[in-house]
């Protein structure tokens, strides 16, 4: 009896189908944040970003003034 063979295109279609089924099942497992959590997390990111920017600005300010004192620029 002859065995059924699949072409590379059929194999690609099957693997692509399997991939998307896997993606769908993984999305069902995801625990999405509530609106309140999303707002809190976003606020934390914004505040930490501002604090980091101010810290880098302060360090840059100090070093630039030190360099101007040392080299007289």
Radius of gyration of the chain (CA): 28
What pLDDT score does 68 carry? 92
Give the whole-number percent of the chain exceeding pLDDT 70. Answer: 85
Cβ atoms of 67 and 73 within 8 Å: the answer is yes
What are the residues whose beta carbons fall under 8 Å from the beta carbon of 67, sequence distance 6 or more? 73
pLDDT in tens, 25-58: 999 999 999 999 999 999 999 999 999 999 999 9
Cβ atoms of 49 and 43 within 8 Å: the answer is no
What pLDDT score does 1 carry? 53
Domain boundaries in the chain? 32-68
Indicate the pTM of the whole model: 0.59
């Amino acid at each position: 009896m002859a065995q059924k063979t699949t072409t590379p295109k059929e194999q690609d279609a099957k693997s692509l189908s399997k991939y998307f089924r896997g993606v769908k099942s993984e999305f069902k497992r995801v625990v999405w944040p509530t609106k309140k959590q999303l707002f809190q997390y976003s606020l934390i990111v914004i505040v930490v970003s501002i604090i980091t920017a101010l810290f880098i600005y302060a360090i840059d300010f100090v070093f630039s003034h030190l360099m101007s004192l040392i080299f007289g620029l």
